[in-house]
Amino acid sequence: MNLILLSAIWGIVMMFSGLFLNSKSAAKTVALVGAVALLIGNIFDLSGKMIINSDFKGMLQYERFGLLFLTVLILALIIYILLSGKDVEAVGKHPFEYFALIFFVMSGAGLVALFNNLLILFIGIEIVSIPLYILTGADKRNLKGNEAALKYFLMGSFSTGILLMGIAFLYGAAGSFQVERLAMITSEDFTAFTTIGIVMVMVALAFKVSAAPFHFWTPDVYDGAPTVFTSFMATIVKAAIFIGFLNLFINAFAGKSDSWKLTVAIITALTLFIGNITAVYQQSVKRMLAYSSIAQAGFMLFAVFAVNDLSKQGLLLYAAAYCFATIGIFAVLVKMKDYTFEGFNGLAKKQPLVAFVLTVCFLSLAGIPLTAGFFAKYFVLAAAVKTGTYLWLVIFAVVMAAVSVYYYFRVIQAMYFKEGETQELELATPFKALLVLVAAVIIVLGVYPSLLLDMLIFF
């Protein structure tokens, strides 16, 4: 509850400080203070000390998993603000408002992670989505940005309609929006309602996390949006929607797996296939990262597919590994002028440290051992193996992970083994130090994943 309240309040504080502070560069500092306040508030949440200690008649549930997941998201937000805060300020004339919208998104993420009622899930997803439409179109003069914003908005509101229809059918079957009541639907008369409801909710959430065949908006939107906001959308927002997805399926639909298991398996396989194969053919690193985020969503869908304890651990670790690595890569990408693979030629000679950090990030995304991505992939796949069915899907995922190595290593190869005119990169020392910190976190999580996973049990 602390997180939801504090981030909503801090969003408003950000807007007013834009009015009273004349200096544009103060935005990053104010945002950073807010993000640290969120982190402290969330740690108090974890130990049960809340500003308003109520679960609102069971509409929210303070599960350790959800709260810990939010901690990871806030840490990612702090890293994001530290690394890319200056670039957010550079997008347009209203830096304070951009950060305010980012805080509103975090408030929505809190609702999505802690919901226990479909109303809260719906409100949370909308609070996450609506600020993002604005952020996508933040660069008003840029036609590509306009197009991305309109596309994102139309697709987003369309999927909201589908989500609501699914919720309405589930209400018809259960007579309540509470998640526990949904889990208890037994009446034979309502099997059709339940199945239609589950499938529609699943389709809508697949839209939001950009799983194939509902992914077609993703590359265009991620490509057209200002790069700093692409970084935010592809990491923190995607992870936040995923926890809602997983919580809903674990708490409400785990007992009815006959009606959705096959569909989720097909969506997972399609997502992995389309994401990885299309990423191979991209010429721009930004667009390649968009397809790679679709492919990574395929792996995170394994957690939803398995719905057991291991899948919670897997999703937690996956979200951490994926968020940190992608934020690191985007932070460097934003500073570059040329987004093609050739733009990375010879980077290792000019900026050996940055090249090393990027290598660690790409290795983690590819799932090479000793990086966090390896254990993340291991846990989500192990969760799927534990269900004992659909082993072909796991084998397919491993093959697709091998395909992903190809396009991630293209960047590493360009940095280390190709000669070329490197573009000028002006990077401050604190920026580099932070990048090294990101790489260190990825490696530490890759060696001791239990540092994070143990917190699910102890604190």
Partner 1 sequence: MPINYYIYLAVALFSIGVAGVLTRRNAIIIFMCVELMLNAVNLLLVAFSKMHAQTALAANPSAITGVEAQLFVFFIMVVAAAEVSVGLAIIVMMYRNIHSVDVNFLNRLKH
List residues near partner 1 by CB under 8 A: 119, 122-123, 126, 130, 133-134, 137, 140-141, 143-144, 146-151, 153-154, 157-158, 160-162, 164-165, 167-169, 171-172, 175-177, 219-220, 223-224, 283
Query: Measuring CA to CA, which residue among 334, 251, 351, 246 is closest to residue 297?
Result: 246
Nearer CB in complex with partner 1: 187/450: 187
Q: Could you tell me the CA-to-CA distances from 427 to 86, 206, 344, 351, 434 in Å, in that order?
A: 12, 38, 15, 9, 11
Nearer to partner 1, 55 or 147 (CB): 147
Closer Cβ to partner 1, 9 or 164, answer by number? 164
Shortest approach of partner 1 to residue 350 CB, angstroms? 28
Q: Which amino acid is at 209?
A: V
CB 220 → partner 1: shortest distance, Å? 4
Question: What's the chain's length in residues?
Answer: 459
Give 50 or 130: the residue with its C-beta nearer to partner 1.
130
Nearer to partner 1, 74 or 200 (CB): 200
b/e per residue 426-453 (b: at least 16 CB within 10 A): eeeeebeebbbbbbebbbebbeebeebb
The least distance separating partner 1 from the CB of residue 15, rounded to whole angstroms, comes to 16
Q: Quick one: 9 or 119, whose CB is closer to partner 1? A: 119
CB of 177 to partner 1, least distance (A): 6
Nearest approach, Cβ of residue 241 and partner 1 (Å):
16
Q: Which is nearer to partner 1, 5 or 119 (CB)?
A: 119
Contact 295, 282 (CB under 8 A): no
State both tokens at 286. Answer: 């930004």
Shortest distance (Å) from residue 165 CB to partner 1: 5
Cα(59)–Cα(54) distance, rounded to whole angstroms? 10
Rounded distance between C-alpha atoms, residue 283 and residue 281, angstroms: 7
Bridge partners of residue 340, in order along the sequence? 284
Q: Check if the beta carbon of residue 1 is closer than 8 Å to that of residue 70.
A: no
* CA pair distance 208, 234, nearest whole angstrom: 11
Q: Tokens 């740690």 appear where?
A: 43
Q: Which is nearer to partner 1, 8 or 82 (CB)?
A: 8
Is 115 in a helix, a strand, or coil? Answer: strand
Minimum distance from residue 415 beta carbon to partner 1 (Å): 24
Minimum distance of partner 1 from residue 201's CB (angstroms): 12
